[in-house]
Amino acid sequence: MEPLNALVALTNFVIIPATAYGSQLALGALGVTLIYGILRFSNFAHGDTMALGTTAVILTTWGLQSAGINFGPLPTALLALPVGIAVCALLLLGTDRLVYRFYRAKKAVPVIFVIASLGVMFVYNGLTRFIIGPEDQRFADGERFLVSARGFREATGLDEALVIRTTQAITVVVAVIVVAILFWFLNRTRTGKSMRAYSDNEDLALLSGINPEKVVAYTWLIVAALATIAGTLYGLDKSFRPFTYFQLLLPIFAAAIVGGLGSPLGAIAGGFVIAFAEVTITYPLKAVLGYALPDGWEPDGLVQLLSTDYKFAVSFVILLIVLLFRPTGLFAGKSV
């Protein structure tokens, strides 16, 4: 029984990857939840928005790299982020002008917005594939490890190694910064307050002279930033592939709903709940249990509760449990 090694193994294989993944999901879910709160529809194009924003970042990164510019030990993609966000913002504002504004003016029912977002999803998906192709793209550069396996073993003398990849650390740091800025913006600035007012009660907000078009434009700007950052972090941490981003839609929606649609705090909590559940249930826990249990108790099998291919099932089951027993989500979002 070696509790210290067990702890290190658990941290290495479950806690660190789940924290990074959770941060990415949280940022994605924040985008979904903001659109839901302010524009009042579930945006099915969000995964593809992330993919398009990331595409812009990747292309800029390649441009910077070929110009010989890099960010030292950090990935060059971080330098390219502002460009990506700007491109994504232009795209979203253009889409809003061409597609969603018409239905807003007509006061169409939410499901019409959802169907329109299906059309937007097709267009974005086609654009992404058209621009960068459907294949895998790797664009991470700079230092690969913050804590390497060898360095950790030599420093601590433990059998089990702890590895922290730079991208994982960056993901968490960037996510914390972004969330801090977002909450400061929503709670402290005039525009942020008007956004929350509009989300809480549209009529009252209109009565008090809040300009709805301005609120909507700011929402799209924030969503562009959130989606591009979430997509870039996910791409740095894993790899960029348009279809994977499309599939992220499910865990992201699950996170937003589990947390309570429309609640920013809930989106973050939901992201981490989903990520930790997915990683714990689909990771073979043999290594951890081997250390944690007394000698002779080691499990024979891999102790992998579900194969990794069923990770969608995990988000889905959590989603169902929450929907059945607490339909407004953990942090009471909009009512059902």
Partner 1 sequence: MTLRATLLFTFVLLLFVGTGFYQSWNVALTIFNMGLISAIMALGVNMQWGYAGLFNVGVMGFVALGGLGAVLVSMPPNAEAITAGGLRVLAGLSLGAATVIAAIFAYRKGGRFAGWLTAGILLAGFFLFRAVLDPGVDAIEAVNPARAGNIGGLGLPVLLSWPVGGLLAAGAAWIIGKVALGLRSDYLAIATLGIAEIVIAMMKNEDWLARGVKNVIGVPRPVPYEVDLQASESFVESVTGFGVDPVTASTIAVKLAYTGLFAVVLLVLVWLAQTALASPWGRMMRAIRDNEVAAEAMGKDVTARHLQIFILGSAVCGLAGAMMTTLDGQLTPGTYQPLRYTFLIWVMVIVGGQGNNLGAVLGGFLVWWLWVQVEPMGALLMNGITAGMADGSWLKGHLLESVAHMRLLTMGLILLLVLRFSPRGLLPER
The residues binding partner 1 (CB under 8 A) are 41-42, 44, 99, 102, 110-112, 114-116, 118-127, 129-131, 133-134, 243, 246-247, 249-250, 253-254, 257, 261, 305, 307, 309-310, 312-313, 315-316, 319-320, 323-324, 327, 336
Instruction: Fill in the DSSP letter of residue 145.
Output: E
* Cβ at position 146, least distance to partner 1 in Å: 33
Q: Which CB, 130 or 184, lies closer to partner 1?
A: 130
Dist. CA 105–CA 117, nearest whole Å: 16
* Cβ at position 129, least distance to partner 1 in Å: 4
Q: Which CB, 229 or 269, lies closer to partner 1?
A: 269
Q: Which CB, 50 or 210, lies closer to partner 1?
A: 50
Q: Which CB, 26 or 261, lies closer to partner 1?
A: 261
Q: How many CA atoms lie within 13 A of 215 on its CB side?
A: 25
Q: Which CB, 29 or 229, lies closer to partner 1?
A: 29
At residue 51, the 3 state secondary structure works out as helix
**Cβ contacts of 249 within 8 Å, gap of 6 or more:** 44, 46, 47
Q: Which CB, 166 or 328, lies closer to partner 1?
A: 328
* Cβ at position 323, least distance to partner 1 in Å: 6
Q: Which CB, 108 or 221, lies closer to partner 1?
A: 108
Q: Which CB, 44 or 220, lies closer to partner 1?
A: 44
Give the distance from CA 193 to its chain's centroid: 24
Copy the structure tokens of residue 151. Answer: 């360095």
* Cβ at position 72, least distance to partner 1 in Å: 30
β-bridge mates for residue 164, sequence order: 147
- Residue 202 belongs to what H/E stretch? helix 202-207
* Cβ at position 226, least distance to partner 1 in Å: 19
Dist. CA 57–CA 140, nearest whole Å: 11
Residue with tokens 């924040």: 30
To the nearest 10 degrees (0 to 180), the angle between helices 16-39 and 264-282 is 140
Residues 69, 79 contacting (CB under 8 angstroms): yes
* Cβ at position 111, least distance to partner 1 in Å: 6
Q: Is the dihedral of CA 296, 301, 306, 307 positive or negative?
A: positive
**Cβ contacts of 317 within 8 Å, gap of 6 or more:** none
* Cβ at position 150, least distance to partner 1 in Å: 35
Instruction: Fill in the DSSP letter of residue 15.
Output: I
* Cβ at position 193, least distance to partner 1 in Å: 27
Dist. CA 275–CA 258, nearest whole Å: 12
Q: Which CB, 217 or 323, lies closer to partner 1?
A: 323
* Cβ at position 317, least distance to partner 1 in Å: 9
C-alpha R_g of the chain: 21
